[in-house]
Structure formats: C-alpha cells, structure tokens
Chains A and B, each alone.
Chain A
Amino acid sequence: MALLLEMRGISKRFGGTQALDQVDFSLDRGEVVGLLGENGAGKSTLIKILAGVHRMDQGAIFIDGKPVTLQTPQDAQRLGIAVIYQELNLTPNQTVAENVFLHHPQRMNGILGKIGIIDHRRRERETAALLAQLGITGLDIRRKVGELSVAFQQLTEIAKALALEARLIVMDEPTSALPDEEVEHLFEIIRRLRERGLGVVFVSHRLNEVRAICDRIVVLRDGKNAGALPVNEASDDRIIAMMVGRSINNLYPKRPATLGDVVLEVQGLTRRGIIEDISFHLRAGEVVGLAGLVGSGRTEVARAIFGADRIDKGTIRLNGTPVRIRSPQDARNLGIGYVPEDRKVQGLVPGMTVRDNITLAVLRQLARAGHVVDRSVLEGVARRYVHELHLRPPRTDLPVGSLSGGNQQKVVLAKWLAVDLKVLLLDEPTRGIDVGAKAEIHGLIDELAHRGMAILLISSELPEVLAMSDRILVMSEGRLVGELSREEATQERILALASGRK
C-alpha cells in the first residue's frame, strides 16, 4: 500500500530566501516521525505547506499515493491533515465541546439542522466519546477552553483534529509549554493515535523526547534534507551534527565560579496566592538556577523582583541596602535586568532596528544632556554588542523581527548588557533556540558571571540548569521547597522536590 503522505522535491522561496530546497518527507500510517532542525531550517515552512497556509513553488504531495493539491487550509482539512501549532488555535471563550466541533457543528436533524441550529446534546455526547477513545479523563467538556491548563487545551486540539477525521496530525513543539509530568501523558495519547493508524509528525527541539516517542526522525538544515534515520540508530551527537552540520564540543561551557559578596538578598517575598515567603540571595559571580514545574511561580519571582508585578510583602536588599522597586524603571535604575521568557511579546520591539532595540534601555544615558539622541553614539554601542555576541547577520539596521530566534535573544541580552547591571534575571533564556545559538548563550551567561554579575537562571530544561548553575533553588506551588548545591543536584532530586515528593 502506498504511504500515507509523501512530499517530493518541495521548494519554497520567500523573497530572497530559499526556505525549502527540494525537500522530501514521508510518513506512514501508524508512524510517528520526528521533524528536527534548527530555527530557520525550514520545519515551519514545510508544516505550513502541509497545512495549506503556504503554497509550494515546486514539488508534489501524495496522499495514499494520489497526487493532491494543497492551496488552502480547507484543502488540508478535507484531506485529513490537522496541524496543532504552538500557539493553539482555540477560541478561549467557548467550551471544550464547542471548540472540538467548531468547524462542523453537530446540527439538529431535519429542517432545524438545515438552517443551522446546533444539537448541543449530540455535540457534547460525541465530544465525550472522542475524549474517551483517547483515554482522556478529567477534562470537563463544558468548561471554557480559556480556563483550562495548556495541557488540557492541547488535548482539546487533538480531539478537534479527530472530530475533523484527521488521519495525519502535525504537532509543532507540543511539549514546549508543558510541565514534565504532562509530557508523558501527551506521549500516551500520541501512542494511542499511532495504534489507531494515524500518522503523527512531531516537531521538537528536545532530543530525549524525540527519542521517547518517535519511530523515525527527519532532519532539515538550511532548507534541505540533512538526513533521515530510525530513531534507535540515532545518537544525540549524530542528530546534533546533522542539525548544525558539524559537532558542537560543548553545549554547556561553564567555568568554576569565583564568588563575591552577596549582591541581591530577597526576604519573605510574597504575592498573595501566587508566591509565598520567598527568601534567597545571589552572590556576585554566581549563577543560581531556579527550577520547578511550569506554573510553580518561578517567573513570578523574577517579575516581583523586577517590579513588574506588585508585591504584598517582602524586602529586597541590593549590596546590603534595602531598596524599593515599584516598577521595572526602578529596577533598571538599580542595575537589575530581566530577560523575559517570551522574547517576541515581552522582550523586543520587532519593528524597530537591532540598533534601537539594543540601546533602548540606555537611551537616556546615551543621549546628549539626557534628551538629544545621537545616532552615531547608538550605532557605536550597538555595533560593539553585535560583534561581541556574534549576531548573525552582523548588522544593526535590520528590524529585529526579521532575525532568527537565537539572534533575537542575543539582542535582548545585548540590551541588558548595555546597562551597567549588577543582577540579571534570565527567564528561559534558551527556549526555542537552536543548538548552536544555545551554546553561545550559555557561554555568554558564564562570561557575565565571570565578570562579577549575579545571575538568576530560570529554566525548564534540567540539563541546562544542572550544567550552568552554581547552586539550584527549587520551587513548588509558589514556595521555595529546596536548595541544592551544584555537587548534590541531580535531575531526580530536582524533580522530586519540584513535584512535592520528599
């Protein structure tokens, strides 16, 4: 029997960029294929062609061996292709059942159905049946989707795909926003889909996940096929080498730290119902990891210190002096920087140039008499960081929105490096960034610590926390539940603390 999906010689060009060049991809029934590649390698373009969002310039797509045309998302839907994007495609103010049958509402029988009257009971019944098939429990189909956790929202998307009779589901980094214990649950669902004979494309950056769930991997690099192999033949080094086109010696360059005085001291920090009684300190030259499940309050701790959220209680000392931080402006003036977890939404002004983004936080300091902007001064500062951080391409005049994720993150970091910082709060600094840029950002974190900066590193990637931190704090449900030294910390111990087990 012919393969479920075959894509042959797919090419796509955007302006001057060849996003895809003669790419082949295939997927069989009951198969889970991992689609890997760095950002910009062409994964999203390939997915979007499959989803009918982009049209390919060249190439052919076959489903069940028959050539098909994919011009619109409706075409894809009709052919049984469902794509679950990172930014889920749900209407938050409608219930689970309404979302699942959004595209073809269950109508009443007879004339009422003809004029578009919806059979609510039937819709709920069938939604419940779908969820049961997937072995999903605990999801209230009458709840509004916006009130659900990300994990449940994802399951709603999967049920929606099944309601559309999808035979092929593409999941674009489905685990990036999931807490660890939910990942395993998602994998069970994926296995169930596989048993039912669906084909699943699983896009991820995390090699251990790909290893856990995929049968085969396909790697793209620079818009071309870089290799495809069964997952049990693929070592991590080999996959990374395929993705980057060379091997990376050291993903976590970390030198032994020389600790200085306590720079930041947080005592009893509380935001009612969110974070409770958080106390810790950071020393100069120290990288302190802040681990915990998604939603455990890590981001909120950083935001509270940075003055982005109001706190109910607690004191913050900087170099021994109590300080009042009521806004990010105050924090910035005291030498505290914050790199937020979602750089596009919170960290950058995408339409402004690299130069203007890098100098934004110090604009006033760079301006003549604090008012008049001198472009040549800005250019000089921006240029320095563009070279220091190896920004690619090494230009200051491009809009930041046109850069890759890794380079965007470098711009956010550069913005804070331009400020004379004592404390840097990093929130998921390498999320969604490809391996090459990741290694560079890790190197930068190490370098900053060596220059005497105190760094708080929030990360959901335990290998990163373990490798980069001198000390690790663990949070659970808004509280600090443990502190581990670099020597005693292991993935198991962190997870045990984070999930509330002793």
Chain B
Amino acid sequence: MSKDASVESKGTTVVARQPGIIRRILQRPETSIVIVLVALSLFLSQSSDAFLTPSNLFNILRNNADIAIAALGVTLVIMAGGIDLSIGSTMALSGLVAAIAVSQGGTTAYQLPGFGLPPALAFLLGVLAGTLVGLINGLLVVRLKIPPFIATLGMLGVVRGVVVGLTSGQTVRNFPVEFTNLGQGYVGPVPVPVIFLIVLAIAVGLFLSYHVWGTYIYAIGGNETSATLTGLPVERVRILTYVLSGALAGVGGVLVVARLGVSAPTQALGYELFVIAAAVIGGVSLSGGRGTVLGAVLGAILIGVLNNALVLLRVESYWQQAFTGGIILLSALVDRLRQRR
C-alpha cells in the first residue's frame, strides 16, 4: 500500500455494495406503487368488465389529473421540509376566479354574474390567484416564521372563507365551450387535463433534476441548517416552493371547474388529503429531502384507481375518504419501513 493510501485507516466506512440494476429498480419507491397498481388492476379486471376499458382508464386519469397536478406542487413543498394544507381551498379559489372571469352570466337567481373574459385569460387569472395564496403561505412561513403546519392550516380556513364569502354560497355556471373543453375535451384519445398533467410533470421533474434550485430543495429538506451555512438562498427557495405549490394547485382548481362545468363554494373540499396522500404514497418523505415527481403522479393515479374501484365494486361513495385516509397511513408505514432498512 502506498503511503498516501495508508494515511486513512481502513474499515472506517460502511460501504454498501453496488446493488444490481434489478435491485435498484426494486428499491425505488415508485416500483412498489406500480406493483400495487398492477395488482389492483388485475383484481379489478377480474371483478368488473368495465374497469379495463380504454375509456374507463382515461376517465380515471382525467378525473384525477387535477389532484396529480396539485400533488406536484405539494411534493416540492414537502421535499423542502414544509407542508401545505391549504391546497383544497386554493384550488377552490382559483377555480372560482377563473369561473367568474369566464362565465357568461347567471341564468338563475342562485348564480353569480360573470365577466365573459376569454378562456385563456380566465385560466391565467385563476392560476394567478393560486400563486398569490402560495406567496402568502411562503411569506407567513419564511418571513413571519410561523410553522408551516399552522400557517397553511390558517390559510386553509381563510381562503375557503373568502370563497364562500365572495359567492354567498352560490354557484357560478354558464361557461363557453372553449373553457369547459379544458376539462372535458380530448386531443386524439387523450383527455386535455391529462395533457396538462404530462406537460407539468415533465416540467417540474426537469426543474428538480436539472435546475440549481431543484438541488437546493433537496439540500434544504435534507438539512436546513447546513444549507444555510453553505450560503444557499434558503429563504427564497422555500418561498418559491410555496408559490409553485399555489400555482399548481391553481391549475388543478381551474381544471376541476372546467371539468365539472360549475364552480361551487365547496369545490375541492378536503382535497389536501388526496393531494398530500398522493405525494406521500409516491415516496416523498414527510421529514423532507426525499421524493420524486413520478412518485407523486403514480400516487395520484393509485388514489384514482382506488376510488374508481370503490365505485365499480359498488362501495358507497360515503366511504371513500375513509379508504384514502387508510391509504395515507399505509403509505406512511411503508415509508417508515423503507427508512429503517
């Protein structure tokens, strides 16, 4: 042994042997979701003829694209060590703003008037509203140092209250077809919301992998003190995660309105449960520093398939939330087991 090489003692390091490619694939959190998805699908195709049809599968994707899109944003927040509980309310506000902007006016006494703006502009305004909520969340957490759980819980209430207050409980309807097409239309066989999802997922994925701030997000979630003492722009990055979360929730919220053709004050109520579940099921560690975009999308799809399964198996829809909650607990358990290894 040369002198240089012998200066450090041997055997001081725990070296994992380079695992083979199959093992590495198996160890990825996404793999377990895919396995569960395939197993669930096989089971469903056995028990219901309706499941494994292209139209049903595309329907599942379309109906859950908004949740998946919002999950992209909350993934960023959680990875940087935060949490965003205001997702559902943010989605409702964005949807409402877009709806009022684009609506051609009420047709009954219980509907609000609209401004009849072009759909693209309405869409943008909706997303902007969500972005604003995200910015407020970020400022509350980073500048005023309110713990993320409390800050976003407060915003959950405030924003929902604003939505209910603005509408006095009324709905907004009567949209031009160019707007509802955003939620109901197809490009070829692919539903438009799914296109949105694919484009945004790729964008967020590229951001995380190839943008400097993507690495910063991992670093901040992994060890915030260390990130600060390395001279990283920790505050700005954290605010950005909330802003992006708000914006993506905004996109999701507008898509919900376009899909359903109505904006109601209770829309997307409790969606934060699904969205955070999607992220956690997808392998995002609630303690920060770990997670992937693909995981979050797969997590959302799994929730969608599960909900679909409950319908196909004729479980009453009232029970849906209980199942989703159970899935969150289950995935958190899987997360624990994964970390212990």
Interface residues of A (CB under 8 A from B): 14-17, 38-41, 221-223, 244-246, 306, 308, 327-333, 338, 340, 345-352, 356, 360-361, 363-364, 367, 370-373, 390, 392-393, 398, 402-404, 406-407, 415, 434, 436-437, 439-440
Contact = CB atoms under 8 A, between A and B. Distances in A.
B134 interface: no
A348 B227 CA distance: 8
A170 B60 CA distance: 60
A346 B225 contact: yes
Contact of A436 (B8, B16, B214, B219): B8
Interface stretch (B176-184, B228-236, B265-273, B311-319): B228-236
B211 A347 contact: no
Contacts of A17: 14-15
A251 B4 CA distance: 14
B226 A347 contact: yes
B6 interface: yes
29 contacts: A16-B16, A17-B15, A39-B12, A40-B12, A41-B11, A222-B10, A306-B229, A327-B231, A328-B228, A328-B229, A329-B231, A332-B230, A332-B231, A345-B223, A348-B226, A351-B290, A360-B227, A361-B232, A363-B215, A363-B216, A367-B212, A390-B4, A393-B15, A402-B14, A402-B15, A407-B8, A436-B8, A437-B8, A437-B9
A370 B227 CA distance: 18
Contacts of B6: 246
Given A372-B210, A415-B230, A351 B222 contact: yes
Contact of B225 (A329, A345, A352): A345
Contacts of B10: 222, 245, 392
Q: Which of A223, A346, A440 has the most CB of B within 10 A?
A: A346
A306 B231 CA distance: 9
A159 B214 CA distance: 49
A158 to B, nearest CB: 30
A422 to B, nearest CB: 14
B295 interface: no
Contacts of B230: 328, 332, 360-361, 415
Contacts of B290: 351
B174 to A, nearest CB: 43
Contact of B229 (A347, A352, A404, A406): A347
B14 A439 contact: no
A356 B215 contact: yes
Contact of B212 (A14, A363, A398, A434): A363
B13 A364 contact: no
Contacts of A338: 229
A352 B230 CA distance: 14
B51 interface: no
Interface string B1-25: 0001111111111111100000000
A14 B14 contact: yes
Closest 10 CB pairs of A and B: A332-B231, A40-B12, A349-B222, A404-B12, A222-B11, A328-B231, A349-B223, A329-B231, A436-B9, A351-B222
B218 interface: yes
B253 interface: no
Nearest to A394: B5
B135 to A, nearest CB: 21
Nearest to A352: B222
A16 B15 contact: yes
Nearest to A348: B226
A349 B12 contact: no
A349 B225 CA distance: 9
Contacts of A363: 212, 215-216
Contacts of B232: 329, 360-361
Given A308-B228, A346-B226, A403 B13 contact: yes
B88 interface: no
Contacts of A434: 9, 12
B252 interface: no
Contacts of B12: 38-41, 392, 404, 406-407, 434
A392 B337 CA distance: 29
A403 B12 CA distance: 8
A372 B231 CA distance: 19
Given A16-B15, A392-B8, A407-B8, A345 B226 contact: yes
A426 to B, nearest CB: 13
A496 B73 CA distance: 58
A332 B16 CA distance: 34
Given A345-B225, A351-B289, A436-B7, A373 B13 contact: no
A223 B289 CA distance: 32
B212 A373 contact: yes
Contacts of B229: 306, 308, 328, 338, 340, 346-347
Given A328-B229, A350-B223, A352-B222, A16 B17 contact: yes
Contacts of B15: 16-17, 393, 398, 402
Interface in B183-235: 209-212, 214-216, 218-219, 222-223, 225-233
A436 B219 CA distance: 30
A338 to B, nearest CB: 6
Interface centre among A345, A356, A392, A393 (most CB of B within 10 A): A392
Nearest to B218: A352
A15 B10 CA distance: 17
Contacts of B9: 38, 40-41, 221-222, 244-245, 434, 436-437
Contacts of B210: 372-373
A16 B212 CA distance: 35
Given A361-B231, A390-B4, A349 B219 contact: yes
A356 B231 CA distance: 15
Contact of A360 (B209, B214, B215): B215
Contacts of B227: 349, 360
Contact of A373 (B4, B14, B211, B226): B211
A389 B214 CA distance: 28
A327 B4 CA distance: 38
B23 to A, nearest CB: 13
Nearest to B4: A390
Nearest to A359: B215
Contacts of A392: 8, 10, 12-13
B13 A371 contact: no
A410 to B, nearest CB: 9
B290 to A, nearest CB: 7
Contacts of B211: 371-373
